[in-house]
Amino acid sequence: MKQDITERKEAEAALRTAHDALIASYDSTLAGWSQALDLRDRETEGHSSRVTLLTLQLARVLGFNEDELEHVRRGALLHDIGKIGIPDAILHKPGPLTDHEWRIMRRHPEYAYQLLQPIAFLRPALAIPYCHHEHWDGSGYPRGLKGDEIPLAARIFTIVDVWDALTSDRPYRAALSHEAAREYIEAQAGSIFDPWIVKTFLAMLDQAGAPVMVH
């Protein structure tokens, strides 16, 4: 009996080790995908890692548990995975996009859904890749979700994504100051952004060791 118990515990430990190794392998693959996306979209180099770190900080403040944070992390890393379906001529176009080109560009959340939904491991992380362009007032895409219809993880990520875009250098403009970016975020509370999350985000930036230092 004692030997049976020992063997069972050893088998359980081996199974846990194999499971942990598999998860680590999956996560390494996701990190590789994210890096490949940044390399393809050269003007946003480093964007995925920065927004992932800041999104996790905000999600923690808002009370996400560790299991939920893992899904948030994976979703943030893969938020633009759908852009692999966007032609290079549009993704790398130096000038403004035409209406037709914007219609194609705005399909990238749908492409993300098509890519990730069949993968059971990643379904819990779909909220961010699929919904991060939805707006609080219902004016976003791809589904025109409004208010609390938008998953909380996506509402969090949307603010962080815009903050990083505004405060990073791009080929067509220099980075905005943190003050100017803050004014924009505040002005869009209730239209693009969830007002409650805006308030929490800005309060977090005001605290000592504010996460704006991730740049």
DSSP 94-119: SSPPPHHHHHHHTTHHHHHHHHHTT-
Domain boundaries, the chain: 2-214
Encode the chain (215 residues) as per-residue pLDDT tens digits.
Answer: 666 666 565 555 555 555 455 456 566 666 666 666 766 665 556 788 899 999 999 999 999 999 999 999 999 999 989 998 999 899 888 788 999 999 999 999 999 999 999 988 889 999 999 999 999 999 999 999 999 999 999 999 999 999 999 998 776 677 889 999 999 999 999 999 999 999 999 999 998 444 444 33
pTM, two decimals, is 0.81
Site of tokens 């890393």? 77
Site of tokens 């003050």? 179
Q: What is the CATH number of domain 2-214?
A: 1.10.3210.10
Radius of gyration of the chain (CA): 20
| The length of the chain, given as a count of residues | 215
DSSP 68-82: HHHHHHHHHHTTTGG
Residues taking part in catalysis? 83
